[in-house]
Amino acid sequence: MRTRQRLIDRLRREGIRNEAVLEVMLNTPRHLFVGGGLEHRAYDNTPLPIGSEQTISQPYIVALMTELLLDDRECLDKILEIGTGCGYQSAILSQFAKRVYSVERIRTLQFEARRILKQLGCKNIAFMNGDGFNGWTTHQPYDGIIVTAAPREIPENLLKQLALGGRLVIPVGDAEQTLRIVTRTRTGFHEATHIAVRFVPMLQGRA
């Protein structure tokens, strides 16, 4: 628990302001999502490999994206997450939404994420093995959409599935990526660019 507290202190120092997000991260066991003998590094502020050439995101990025997605709202109705990966970000999001809909293209990762999240008692997450470029039309519109793999351009379908006043937080680019925040307004979309980031590429199709 001491290493977890140290990580949270560091995130606060690095500029994460939403105390509710920090509290949830303090209480979420990241080591359960990190396998392959890397558990001892679970509370380092670093991304780690999770197999299938994918990574668990850096804790700072998870905290930042959650904070940006919430935008001072305490709890969202519906969140769409693209890129379940190991499920760590899903676990955090599930505590800030009535329901989280999470899409992952690699079936083996999705299965493992599902198992851990069930073990943790996260009951408000629905999973789909599919291509995130399509979003998840059945449950749209979403108050928040978070993407944890980088496309070259913002996918049109995700914009379409955003509720009025809803926010999309997404890394965009190739070798050089930036985090973008898109808000749906009455007249269209408002886009802002945040920091430079580095995510695995968002790939077309299911695996």
Q: Who's near 142: CB < 8 A, 6+ residues apart? A: 78, 79, 80, 101, 161, 162, 163, 166
Q: Which of 52, 57, 94, 102 is catalytic?
A: 57
In the DSSP assignment, the letter for residue 197 is: E
- Binders of ligand SAH among 54-73, rule CB under 6 A? 54-57
- H or E, element range at 186: none
Is residue 151 exposed (0-12), middle (13-18) or buried (19+ Cβ within 10 Å)? buried
Q: Which is nearer to ligand SAH, 181 or 185 (CB)?
A: 181
Compute how many other C-beta atoms are within 10 angstroms of the C-beta atom of residue 153: 7
Is 90 catalytic? The answer is: no
- Binders of ligand SAH among 76-135, rule CB under 6 A? 82-83, 85-86, 88-89, 103-106, 109, 131-133
Total residues at the site for ligand SAH (CB under 6 A)?
A: 23
Q: How far is the CB of 191 from ligand SAH (least distance, A)?
A: 21
Residue ranges binding ligand SAH (CB under 6 A): 54-57, 82-83, 85-86, 88-89, 103-106, 109, 131-133, 148-149, 200, 202-203
Query: Catalytic amino acids?
Result: 57
